[in-house]
Amino acid sequence: MTARHSERHRTDRIAWLRAAVLGANDGIVSTASLVLGVAAANASHGNVMVAGIAGLVAGAMSMAAGEYVSVRSQADSEKAALDLERAELAADDHGERRELTAIYVGRGVEPALARQVAEQLMAHDALGAHARDELGISTELSARPILAALTSAASFAVGAALPLLAVAMVSASALIPVVAVASLVFLAILGGLAARVGGANVTTGAVRVTFWGALAMGLTALVGALFGTVV
């Protein structure tokens, strides 16, 4: 009985994981920092909540727009590269076969075998073979602008909602310490989870995200406190 191949890879998770982690991380850090900065400026509990909600909406839209533009540009570049490759295949099929053979030879395949592999792959899907092995474009990792934008916006909103939930549950006097501690805990969990899903070290991922989040929140709170004493 042939053993079933069960090895798990994580490359198919990279696109959505990147957008989701960046969105949630930014949601927590930016919203918590905004809330702490406004609270440190002696704003009322209601004003802090309003500022946080406005930050959630603005941040989610900004993440969606930025991610869409970025990934859309990548998708346009991929399409242009594929159109050019399609034209080259139509104009010089034999030259493209030699080019694909040379790629495999460069990776360590014997010339005769490389030629055979190139012939078979091009007979099956010439453009797909060149897209994958010459251009580095695959179906699993191809750019998806709408998906990336929606993922970024949704994950940002979820992340931003966490510190806002802490704000809603505590009084004005306990707002700063509770939001700061809760946000750092959320960041540590997020960093560890992202590292685990991506196959990296969980502790390192958690510490890295928590450190930069603490730095952002601390600096914003300091600016808010200084601003509050002036105005």
* pLDDT averaged over every residue in the chain: 81
> Is 8 part of any domain?
no
SS3 140: coil
Kindly tell me the sign of the dihedral angle through the C-alpha atoms of 189, 194, 199, 200.
negative
- Domain containing 65: what range? 14-225
> Is 4 part of any domain?
no
- DSSP letter for 11, please: G
pTM: 0.70
Tokens 């009084």 found at: 171
> Is 168 part of any domain?
yes
Taking the CA atoms of residue 110, residue 113, residue 117 and residue 123 in that order, the dihedral angle to the nearest 10 degrees is 140
| Neighbour count for residue 108 (Cβ, 10 Å) | 7
**DSSP state string for 151-202:** HHHHHHHHHHHHHHHHHHHS-GGGHHHHHHHHHHHHHHHHHHHHHHHHTS-H
pLDDT digit string, tens, across residues 115-140: 887 777 777 777 777 777 766 666 55
**The pLDDT value given to residue 8:** 47
pLDDT band at 2 (very low <50, low <70, confident <90, very high): very low
pLDDT band at 7 (very low <50, low <70, confident <90, very high): very low
> Is 9 part of any domain?
no
> Is 113 part of any domain?
yes
The total number of structural domains in the chain stands at: 1
Amino acid occupying residue 3: A
Q: What is the mean pLDDT of residues 205-228?
A: 89
> Is 141 part of any domain?
yes
